[in-house]
Amino acid sequence: MESRPLLEVRDVSMVFGSGENAQYALRDVDLAVFDGEVLMLRGPSGSGKTTLLSIMGGILSPTSGDVFIDGHAMTKRSAAETSALRLQYFGFIFQDYNLFPTLSCSQNIQVALDLRGVVRGDARRIAAQTLQEVGLGNKQDEMPAKLSGGQKQRLAVARALAGSPKVMLADEPTAALDSGNGLMIMALLRDLAHARGRAVVVVTHDDRIMPYADRVVHIEDGRIKVPG
Ligand SMILES: Nc1ncnc2c1ncn2[C@@H]1O[C@H](COP(=O)(O)OP(=O)(O)OP(=O)(O)O)[C@@H](O)[C@H]1O
């Protein structure tokens, strides 16, 4: 039944340091992610989850192995080519929001669209629309400092959504939020996967959001743990 994965990690290993200080963060990892699913990555601290997420999105280049997005190799490319694929296919959400503090909510989204070559009038319109979608329609000109934690994360989600990513990668997106806000963020991400057929990968320690997972992958000591 399953078609070609949207994102595929093939035999990826990642070593930090060299010689006596070499440390394997990931070993021989294979993972396929399909459109329409929310995949959660779990595992103890230091097991390699963030490293894997960063490699999936082309933020880090693996020591060996390959990553494919929609059939395109992300690895063994120039930094400029990887960056272009990253912009075209991925959205990112982080625990600490990573907003631009000196820009308004709308401008935070518009700069992300500007990077993708969207012209200013369109960027303003898309920003307004995505803010509406995450329930911040009345905060367009507000500065991020004036928002609550939940609102800041919704703005970060809106910024990532605005680029219409095929894959959303989220690193502990609910860790700093109370339950209500955490569940609201997950509802937005699940809707992205289920209603719009995108893939969502979430690194999390947060038991409260586990009901939102379509699939859970466990990582230990840099390896995918096979169930059973
Ligand atoms: N830039 C780096 N330089 C050196 N070692 C690193 C680097 N990034 C990660 N590591 C090491 O790689 C291993 C995996 O780290 P990673 O952050 O991927 O784990 P994690 O599962 O996301 O942990 P946590 O749940 O605590 O965020 C750890 O031993 C970490 O110390």
* 7-221: CATH number: 3.40.50.300
The pLDDT tens digits of the residues spanning 79-115 come to: 999 999 999 999 999 999 999 999 999 999 999 999 9
Mutate to test the pocket of ligand 1, among 20, 27, 41, 49 (most ligand atoms within 8 A of CB): 49
ipTM of this complex prediction, to 2 decimal places: 0.96
Instruction: Indicate if ligand 1 lies below 6 Å from the C-beta of 100.
Output: no
Residue of minimum CA distance from atom 14 in ligand 1: 48
Tell me the percentage of the chain whose pLDDT exceeds 70: 98
Instruction: Indicate if ligand 1 lies below 6 Å from the C-beta of 220.
Output: no
The pLDDT tens digits of the residues spanning 166-180 come to: 999 999 999 988 999
| 152 closest CA partner among 182, 123, 128 | 182
Domain boundaries, the chain: 7-221
